[in-house]
Each structure stands twice: as structure tokens, then as C-alpha cells.
């Protein structure tokens, strides 16, 4: 499997491609990383150095890959945080080029906008751009519950309303929706859930909630779920494997006391997930 991953990169820490690439490689996926920024560290520190890469330069890198005759071998185009409006055109053009070369390829979009705690943390134009242009072009999207609400102009809360919001999102274009950070009001205290919905049904998994703000964990989640689903075609299995791997990554990070994901130290959790959580079909 080959994945063209168009995301940010940092030298210190793990977000964007600096979070997604290694776990994918550890499960045997060939990754072609294309960077949209090259920062010293993620912006959550409040200070960073390094360049935003212009959309034209990102496009040029993808053109160079195309000139090597590689696009027909790409199985998935993966995108995450979009720092500026111009990068969306580059990503959508790349998706079109890949699908022209390989009609079986899919586009997986993590529509990064914000979360229920912090609200939106992207430029005001980005959520609208994602909703109106990018998400309709995607085959797979991986919003958190907050982002799902914005995309669908709804307020998902309990399971029924969250599934209804997913149905609206799927009507926009993507056939597969993974909803992360699902917080139902009737769930047991100190738990959190993920929900996966495809044409074949809907599945949910519940884990203990780890008290940790972990930048990059969503990037790992989107990457692993997309790869597992593409490889097996089994959404329940993809959900189980991804949940197990990400929980162990977060648990190890929390135990370390470090701010950054313990990405390398957790590598066995990607290659050999414990599958310790039950996935339940809810539709």
C-alpha cells in the first residue's frame, strides 16, 4: 500500500506528517510525505520557527512525484490540518490526478478545525472551505464530534443525534465517517468513544478517558484507521486496531510525563495492537 500524505511537519515533537508517517511505516505502509509547513515545533507552544511552504511549492513537489510515474501506484491520498486557503486547491488537484491515474484510490480527509474544549483554532475561512469544497471530494473523513457538528450544522450529542449528523455528512460525499472524541451524555464517567459508519453499518468503541491534551493524536488516528480500512475493508476491525494502538500511545505518553507523544516508544502498539476493547455494532 502507498499513501500520499499531504500535511504539516515539525522537527521537534509529533504532529501532522511527523505523527502519521512512522506509525504507517511500522504497519508496513509506504508513505510519500509532502509537507505544507516545516516548523521547529507545533504552534501550541505559542512560539515556533520555520517556513510555511507556499501552495505553488507543494504543488511542485507533487508534480515531481507525478513525473516519476508514481501516482498510479497511490492507494490513498491523506490530508490533515490546512493552514491556509490555497493548500486546499493543491490537495484537491492532487486527489484528481491520483484518481485519474488509479481509479481505485481514495481520499481521506481529517477536517481539522478545533475541538469542544478550545473551539475553532484555524483561520475563519478554513471551516467553510472544508465543509463546502474539501469534504464533498473525500471518500473518508475523520472529524471529532465538534467538527462533525460544524460540518453538518447540527449539535450531535447522544448516539442517535450523532448518527443523524453522520448521515448528513455522508450525504455530502464521503461514504466512510470516523467520529473521534465522542462524548455521549449517558456514557459512563471518565470514558470516551469513537464511532465508525460506512455503507455496511455503524460501530462504536469505548475506552477509559486519559487526562491528556495530546497534540498529534488525531493525526495518528486518521492515518491508522485509513490504512487499516483500506487494507482489510473491515470497518469494525479498523476501528478496533486503531483504538487499541492510539489508547496505548496515549497511555504511554501520559505515564511518561512528557508533553509530546511517545510515538517511537509505542511502535509495538501499531504493529501488534492488543485489541483490548470491544467494538459494538449499533446499526
- Report residue 130 CA to chain centroid gap: 14
The model's confidence at residue 119, banded by pLDDT at 50, 70 and 90, is: low
What pLDDT is recorded for position 124?
Answer: 77
Contact criterion met (CB below 8 Å) for 9 and 18: yes
Question: What b-and-e string marks burial along 204-213, b requiring 16 or more CB atoms within 10 Å of the CB?
Answer: bbbbebbeee
The model's confidence at residue 133, banded by pLDDT at 50, 70 and 90, is: very high
Residue 28 is given by DSSP the state T
Q: What is the pTM of this model?
A: 0.96
Provide the percentage of residues in the chain whose pLDDT is more than 90: 90
3 state SS for 38-86 = EECCCHHHCCCCCCECCHHHHHHHHHHHHHCCCHHHCCEEEECCCCCCH
The model's confidence at residue 128, banded by pLDDT at 50, 70 and 90, is: confident
**Bridge partners, 276 (sequence order):** none
* 117 pLDDT higher than 70: no
CA angle 22, 90, 230 (to 5 degrees): 45
Going from N- to C-terminal start, the domains of the chain cover 2-281
The grid cell for 243 is: 483504538
The model's confidence at residue 118, banded by pLDDT at 50, 70 and 90, is: low
What pLDDT is recorded for position 274?
Answer: 97
What pLDDT is recorded for position 22?
Answer: 98
pLDDT digits (tens, 9 = 90+) for 203-231: 999 999 999 989 999 999 999 999 999 99
Superfamily of domain 2-281: Ribokinase (3.40.1190.20)
pLDDT digits (tens, 9 = 90+) for 237-265: 999 999 999 999 999 999 999 999 999 99
- The answer for residues whose C-beta is within 8 angstroms of residue 63's C-beta and 6 or more apart is none
- The answer for residues whose C-beta is within 8 angstroms of residue 244's C-beta and 6 or more apart is 269, 273, 274, 275, 276, 277
- DSSP one-letter string for 100-144: HH-TT-EEEE----EETTTEE-S-THHHHHIIIIIGGG-SEE--B
The stretch 256-279 carries a mean pLDDT of 98
pLDDT digits (tens, 9 = 90+) for 163-181: 999 999 999 999 999 999 9
The stretch 70-76 carries a mean pLDDT of 98
Closest residue by Cα to residue 227 from 24, 70, 20: 24
Q: Report CA Rg, the chain.
A: 17
Closest residue by Cα to residue 61 from 33, 31, 19, 100: 33
Provide the percentage of residues in the chain whose pLDDT is more than 70: 98
What pLDDT is recorded for position 81?
Answer: 86
- The answer for residues whose C-beta is within 8 angstroms of residue 119's C-beta and 6 or more apart is none
Amino acid at each position: 500500500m502507498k499513501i500520499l500524505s499531504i500535511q504539516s511537519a515539525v522537527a521537534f515533537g509529533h504532529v501532522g506528517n511527523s505523527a502519521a508517517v512512522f506509525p504507517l511505516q511500522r504497519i508496513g505502509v509506504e508513505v510519500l510525505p509532502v509537507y505544507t509547513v516545516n516548523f521547529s515545533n507545533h504552534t501550541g507552544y505559542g512560539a515556533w520557527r520555520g517556513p510555511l511552504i507556499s501552495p505553488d511549492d507543494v504543488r511542485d513537489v507533487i508534480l515531481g512525484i507525478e513525473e516519476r510515474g508514481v501516482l498510479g501506484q497511490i492507494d490513498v491520498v491523506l490530508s490533515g490540518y490546512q493552514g491556509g486557503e490555497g493548500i486546499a486547491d493543491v490537495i484537491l488537484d492532487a486527489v484528481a490526478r491520483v484518481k485519474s491515474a488509479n481509479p481505485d484510490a481514495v481520499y481521506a480527509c481529517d477536517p481539522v478545525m478545533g475541538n469542544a474544549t478550545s473551539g475553532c483554532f484555524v483561520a475563519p475561512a478554513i471551516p467553510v472551505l472544508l465543509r463546502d469544497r474539501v469534504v464533498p471530494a473525500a471518500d473518508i473523513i475523520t472529524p471529532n464530534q465538534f467538527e462533525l457538528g460544524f460540518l453538518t450544522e447540527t449539535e450531535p450529542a447522544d448516539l442517535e443525534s450523532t448518527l443523524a449528523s453522520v448521515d448528513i455528512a455522508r450525504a455530502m460525499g464521503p461514504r466512510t465517517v470516523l467520529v473521534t472524541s465522542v462524548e455521549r451524555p449517558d456514557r459512563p464517567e471518565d470514558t470516551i468513544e469513537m464511532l465508525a459508519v460506512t455503507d455496511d453499518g455503524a460501530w462504536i468503541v469505548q475506552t477509559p478517558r486519559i487526562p491528556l491534551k495530546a497534540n498529534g493524536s488525531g493525526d495518528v488516528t486518521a492515518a491508522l484507521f485509513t490504512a487499516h480500512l483500506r487494507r482489510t475493508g473491515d470497518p469494525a476491525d479498523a476501528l478496533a486496531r486503531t483504538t487499541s494502538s492510539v489508547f496505548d500511545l496515549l497511555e504511554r505518553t501520559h505515564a511518561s510525563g512528557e508533553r509530546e507523544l511517545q510515538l517511537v516508544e509505542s511502535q509495538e502498539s501499531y504493529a501488534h495492537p492488543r485489541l483490548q476493547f470491544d467494538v459494538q455494532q449499533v446499526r
